[in-house]
Structure 1
Amino acid sequence: MTLLSKPFVFARHAQSEYNAAFRIGGFTDSPLSEKGIQQAQQAAPILNAIGWSAVITSTLQRTQQTAFHAVPEHAILPYEQLKERNWGDLEGCPIEQQLAYEITPPNGESWHDFETRVISTLNTILSEHDWPLIIAHSGVYRVLNNVINGTPYCPRIGNVTPISFAPSQDENGWTISPFKGNFV
């Protein structure tokens, strides 16, 4: 699969209650923790300074609450297909029980199915919006890393840490850098 070559900014949601408890969240609709609300509010000066063409989230409340606090001036467009991977029977379990990405969790979603739905949705979003801010999940970031760099294994993206993705002439076709309030 390939990603449409258009710029965007990606941010993982702020800390959820499941994150704070070191639990696998996946499809579980865990709200933001108090710390998560503070993280989202602290990101507002950088994220709210841009006139985004769209602010996109998943349909899970942790992404929508992050957008509500980080970019309160913008309407939110939720996409069901940007939800985190469905970890099946592992939902709510301690994070240490998470399996390698290539292994399908019992009653859960395969990596291939997860990657296919995420990239298909991102390509739809990128075809419709010029400079979107996409607030989603660490799994979505891992899908991006896999498609661009060939592996889902990368450092976990921080809560509300905006990352700029810009098409480039680099070896992998992208410049990926911390977003500081303007585009590369």
Structure 2
Amino acid sequence: MSLLPRPFVFVRHGETFYNRARIIAGRFDVPLTPDGEQQAINARDWLDEDWSYIAVSDMFRARKTAMLAVPNGRFHYFHGLRERNWGTLEGQAYRHPMPYVDTPEGGESWDGFRHRVLDVINTVLDQYERPLFVAHSGVFRVIRDAAIGTHEGPRVNNVSPVECVPPGRGQTRWELRPLAENAFADMTE
């Protein structure tokens, strides 16, 4: 499954205590840190638009980020935009490299996760011009894979919006344009 060729903006939720400790949260519904809440508030300048549609993961960290970053937004919550179920890896430290394409014990396969996420994104893109998606780093990894052909690359930083632009005339790949400085982590994970 590929992305429908329509532009959109993606933003990852604010920092959580699990992010700070470099622990895999996955399906754990963890809260934002005070810094994570401030990151969302600081993103208002980048996200101050009249969005055609705002699609948000139904997990607390994404919902809270959306409410703080776009305080007057009208949100639509999707179970399909949740972070990947990492099974027995949830609650453990990040690994290097992370086994993104492997199916973790008791967890969700990469293909299943990818299909679930792209189904929601394409449903929204089919109906709305340049919507905003607020979700998780794993969701962005799916977007990267569908847009440029690889899930590999630096992790998208917390509350660092990325404009996703489909190929134009004479182009073959999507552009993933950071709307803020330092949108991507220095390390490749």
Whether the TM-score (by the shorter chain) exceeds 0.5 is yes
In structure 1, list runs of 5 or more residues that go unmatched: none
CA distance in 2, matches of 1:140, 1:37: 20
Instruction: Tell me which residue corresponds to 1:104.
Output: 103
Partner Cα separation in structure 1 for residue 97 and residue 175 of structure 2: 30
Amino acid at match of 1:158: N
Partner of 2:69: 70
The aligned counterpart of 1:155 is 154
The residue number in structure 2 matching 1:175 is 175
Contact 1:24 1:98 in 2 (8 A): no
1:142-179 Cα distance to aligned partner (Å, 9 max, x none):
1111112211111110111111112223222x222122
Residue correspondence of structure 1 range 85-96 to structure 2 within 5 A: 85-96=84-95
Q: Which amino acid aligns with 2:25?
A: G
Unaligned ranges ≥5, structure 2: 181-189
Q: Distance in 2 between matches of 1:6 and 1:102?
A: 26
CA distance in 1, matches of 2:21, 2:86: 17
- 1:95 partner SS: coil
Distance 2:98 2:175 in 1: 30
What CA deviation, in whole Å up to 9, does each residue of 1:108-149 have, x standing for no partner? 000010001111111011112212110111111111111122
Take 1:90 and 1:167, find their aligned partners in 2: how far apart are those partners?
Answer: 34
Instruction: Measure, in 2, the Cα distance between the counterparts of 1:138 and 1:144.
Output: 10
| Identity percentage of aligned residues | 41
Deviations 1:40-71 (A, max 9, x none): 011111112x1001111101010010011100
Describe the shift of the 1:81–1:87 C-alpha distance in structure 2 as closer, same or farther (beyond 3 A).
same
Report the residue type matching 2:8 in the other structure: F
Note if 1:14 corresponds to 2:14: yes
> Aligned equivalents of 1:20 and 1:57: distance in 2?
22
| Residue correspondences, number | 178
Aligned-pair CA distance for 1:32: 0.6
Q: RMSD of aligned C-alpha atoms?
A: 1.4
1:127 aligns with 126
